[in-house]
Amino acid sequence: METDLLIVGGGPAGLHAAYVAASNGIKTIIVDESFSLGGQLRQQTQQLNNLPKQFGDQTGTALAQTLIERLTNLDVTVLLKHTMIGTYKDGRVGVSNGQNTIPIAAKKVIVATGAAEEAFVFPGWTLPGVMTAGAAQILMNREHVIPGKNALVIGSNDFALEVGKQLVENGVCLQGIVDNEVQLVGKKAETVHFLKEAGVPVYLDSFVKHASGSGEVEKVIISYNNTEEEMDIDLVCIGKGLTPILEPFEILNCDFTYEKELGGWLPQYSTMMETSTSSIYVAGNAAGITNLGPILLTAEIAAVSVAETLNGLSKEEANVKRELSWQELYRLESAESQNAFHARVNLMRSFQDNVDAQLTQLFNMFVGGV
């Protein structure tokens, strides 16, 4: 197969990048390992209010539908249940469905593989009934299965708290939020208020010491205030956080850097979202763990850059679009974490000498000349 642009990942970043690129005449292929497009949006029934202006406020499931339907009349080919497995000597990318391998010759590649959930490890963590927060959300919102009756959530980041909220809304008795941090990590006041009003106990500076049960989790012991408390639990949701998925960048020989505020190890990239490997771009959580607004906007920046290099957009048009996207990205990302945006600027600076020359006015205006 031949194409202008190959996008690895069919979640929100990949879908939006495909729309922006294809809208500017770029022939596009999306490859995704799942059975359907949409990524994590498919089970996010909550209202999303940190989206770029063009999307307004809507639920994750509605946004997934919007992103997918926009591609209907564009030159976008979708390969579901396919995974990127390597590259050929001539630069083609190999994707496989487990039975057949398809070589794809692409002029440009955007990697939008997202992030994976991390797990806390403790004695008994492999028992049935112990799962990631994301797995619990899939069961509730996509499979319409209530995963337990008496639950404990480990972790207090925004996603863990949101899943805790959804558990309560689905009639589950949430017996506590446990985190080894000394204060809540999550910043969404609405979610925190909901859990407080629901009477959910929060155990900070605490940890799960042990989970036990006969064939499935039945009891959990937590260490709290130098004491131990035993709980009757049939569901433990682990919400430690997310880390970028990096394997495609390793295959594509991209260089990496470390930014704790963005989730750890990341591919190096420029203000155009291009990595150290020419013609390979990054978008979404693979470019740094963030909220959904910047996930979509990094995809837009990457797709605009691809369209520019393939003559779908003039340099002037692309520069205007990128600058507007960076401005909105700053607004949405810094609303939750100024540190994350600073880390993103530092990442680009360490890789690209002319970051300030390209975006001086923007960065000086918003970040005080970092």
Query: What does 227-263 look like in DSSP terms, one character per residue?
Result: EEEEEE-SEEEE--EEEE--HHHHHTT--EEEEGGGT
CB 175 within 8 A of CB 201: yes
Residues in CB range of 155: below 8 A, 6 or more apart: 120, 133, 177, 178, 179, 185, 238, 239, 240, 241
Position 262 pLDDT exceeds 90: yes
The strand pair at 47-48 and 58-59 is best described as: antiparallel
Distance between CA atoms of residues 38 and 178, nearest Å: 30
In the prediction, which pLDDT does 359 show?
Answer: 58
Q: What is the mean pLDDT of residues 115-128?
A: 94
Q: Is 36 helix (H, G, I), strand (E, B) or coil?
A: coil
Residues in the chain: 370
Q: Is 24 helix (H, G, I), strand (E, B) or coil?
A: coil
Q: What is the mean pLDDT of the chain?
A: 93
Distance between CA atoms of residues 112 and 109, nearest Å: 10
Ordered DSSP codes for 258-297: EEGGGTEEEE-B-TT-BBSSTTEEE-GGGG----HHHHHH
In terms of Cα–Cα distance, which of 232, 88, 79, 83 is closest to 151? 232
Distance between CA atoms of residues 215 and 127, nearest Å: 7
CB 336 within 8 A of CB 50: yes
In the prediction, which pLDDT does 357 show?
Answer: 57
Position 354 pLDDT exceeds 80: no
Higher pLDDT, 188 or 105: 105
Q: In 10 A of CB 23, how many CB atoms?
A: 17
Could you tell me the two tokens for 203?
């155990």
Position 370 pLDDT exceeds 80: no
In the prediction, which pLDDT does 130 show?
Answer: 98
Distance between CA atoms of residues 294 and 261, nearest Å: 14
Banded model confidence at residue 361, pLDDT cuts 50, 70, 90: low
pLDDT tens-digit profile of 209-238? 999 999 999 999 999 988 999 999 999 999
Percent of the chain with pLDDT over 70: 95
Phi, psi (degrees; rounded to nearest 5) at 31: -115, 130
Q: What CATH fold (topology level) applies to the domain 2-116+242-367?
A: FAD/NAD(P)-binding domain (3.50.50)
CB 331 within 8 A of CB 341: no
Q: What is the mean pLDDT of residues 43-62?
A: 92
Position 328 pLDDT exceeds 50: yes
Q: Which of 25-29, 156-160, 186-190 is modeled with the greatest confidence?
A: 25-29
Banded model confidence at residue 356, pLDDT cuts 50, 70, 90: low
| Start and end residues for every CATH 3.50.50.60 domain found in the chain | 2-116+242-367, 120-239
Distance between CA atoms of residues 81 and 30, nearest Å: 11
CB 270 within 8 A of CB 348: yes
CATH class for the region spanning 120-239: alpha beta
Phi, psi (degrees; rounded to nearest 5) at 80: -85, 160
